[in-house]
Amino acid sequence: MTDRRPQSISGRYFEPNKSKSRPALLSRSGSRLEIAVDGGLVGAYSSDPEISSRVGNIPRRVTLSDGSVFETSDNDGLELFFGLDRHLSTRFFALEKRSRWTALVAVVCIALVFCVYRYGMPVAARFAASATPAIVSSAIDRGALETLDKVLFEASVLEVHEQERIDALFRTIIDTAGKDTNDFRLLFRDGGAIGANAFALPGGSIVITDQIVQLTENDDELAGVLGHELAHVVEQHSLQQIYRAVGWVIVAGLVAGDSGQLVEEAVAQVGALQSLSYSRAFETSADIYSARLMHTLGRNPLAFIDLLERVTLECGPSCDHSSLLSSHPGTVDRRRDIEQLEFVDP
């Protein structure tokens, strides 16, 4: 019987422990496999490499004996080359060409993605956040601040004595929360185009803009802002946002068949972007945390909401989308949630 297996297959070659690839040709010479790059032989290997499973049209990887990798999008050709054309995965993949099975698989995939989104990703993000070393969180802070300072912020113009006064207030809030002041730092920036804002990064860096300080009418409002952002750090909301975002980038990469580059770009940028919004549950949790702190300090727990309403009036309808402090839930709901709290005196 004529051997209908192809004698070679084209793809990309990755040297051991290197991410850069080169166009290559995988062929067979007797009982060994050969890799050619630019017409020149770069290696010969045993004929029993590790071959990744077939998942849709995602490129397959052939891991060779020295750790180098050959990757190809020609799934059919790869299976013929290695004599895998009767493998269960191939027969399953053939079902994709049948419309009835395709519709069923699509429904199952949608249901699976929903379950992952609704239940799996939040749980995984919480676990990952709790297991993240402090040195990693600090590195995220540095990278995020570097990006934000380049594209959004200018140096603060607040007087030094005013910065010192606000920092002392922040230290009092941290002490009241029972946390170590050495784990946090307060940074001041001119908000520029984004105006009155405040946000927290996972390593304990909290940034407030000159504009939000200028809008406050009393220290109760300012303390409420600081307590709210402290909550995002203490309850690891920022880290969870990062892991959720990166998790979805990985999922998208798997579907698109090029997860490596997507994940690399996400990790580089998401540390800065994650601070622009939180989920409704995270915002509500931070509001409650801050309100309880303000009550313990003898300050007005609702002063923070008064400030949010003023910020909303300052920037108009766009606040619901652009301002960190006016993100959903709306100020009416946030005020109601705090008014319904039962405070217990220490």
Give residue 256's pLDDT.
Answer: 46
What is the sign of the dihedral through the CA atoms of 103, 106, 110 and 115? positive
User: 134-339 falls under which CATH superfamily?
Assistant: Metalloproteases ("zincins"), catalytic domain (3.30.2010.10)
Q: Can you name the residues that pair with 37 across neighbouring β-strands?
A: 40
Q: What are phi and psi of 181, to 5 degrees?
A: -60, -25
CATH 3.50.50.60 fits 8-93, yes or no: no
Check residue 316 and give its pLDDT: 55
CB burial of residue 291 (10 Å; 0-12, 13-18, 19+): buried
Residues 341 and 301 sit within 8 Å (Cβ to Cβ): yes
* Domain boundary assignment for the chain: 8-93, 98-130, 134-339
Closest CA to 221 of 213, 231, 210: 213
Q: What is the mean pLDDT of each run of 10 residues along the chain (346 residues)?
A: 72 86 87 86 83 82 88 87 62 54 71 64 73 85 88 93 97 95 94 87 93 94 95 88 66 47 46 54 90 94 88 60 45 82 61
Cα end-to-end span (Å), the chain: 87
CA distance readout (Å), 285 to 61, 167, 234, 288, 291:
44, 24, 11, 5, 10
62, with CB counted inside 10 A (0-12, 13-18, 19+), is buried
